[in-house]
Amino acid sequence: MSKRINYMKAAPDSVKGLIAVHGYLAQSGLDGNLVDLVYLRVSQINNCAYCIDMHSQDLVKHGVPFEKLILTPAWREAGDVFTAREQAALAWAESLANVAQTGVPDEDYAAASAEFNEKELSDLSVAIALMSAFNRLGVAFRNTPAAASKLARAAA
């Protein structure tokens, strides 16, 4: 698969709002590792290799154990690897990222709102929506993950 276009170069004004939202979320008060973990899970759901690579690398840089990243898709079966707050965030991320299938049931909302106050849950929901938007751009335009380029160079 080859890259199609660089949407940030082709239409930089079109993504300014998304970048502004990303900046807001970085200072929103939500734990940065929690947000990156949610970004990772949403990107896994949406099969965005570019974003999976980027957020995995960010989490590793911030000291999150590699083993935790590997278990993220199976977080429900991972026991105490994920905190109750992380589990609530991941469950909420899955419900929202799969909105067409889930309809975001009341039980999912109740579980998320038990761990997050209204502002936090609003910010977390915006983070999920933001990553879903970036994933769609990454998949549509075939953004190449940094790891793929690195591995290709190593194999040559």
Q: Which domains does the chain have, with CATH numbers?
A: 29-155 (1.20.1290.10)
Pairs from 47-52 (Cβ < 8 Å, separation ≥ 24): 47/135, 47/139, 48/134, 48/135, 48/138, 48/139, 48/143, 49/138, 49/143, 49/145, 49/148, 50/138, 50/143, 50/144, 50/145, 51/131, 51/134, 51/135, 51/138, 52/145
Query: In this predicted model, what pLDDT tens digit does every residue of 125-145 receive, in sequence order?
Result: 999 999 999 999 999 998 888
Residue 37 has a pLDDT of 98
pLDDT digits (tens, 9 = 90+) for 68-111: 999 999 999 999 999 999 999 999 999 999 999 999 999 999 99
Whether pTM > 0.75 for this model: the answer is yes
Distance in angstroms (rounded) separating the CA atoms of residues 76 and 86: 11
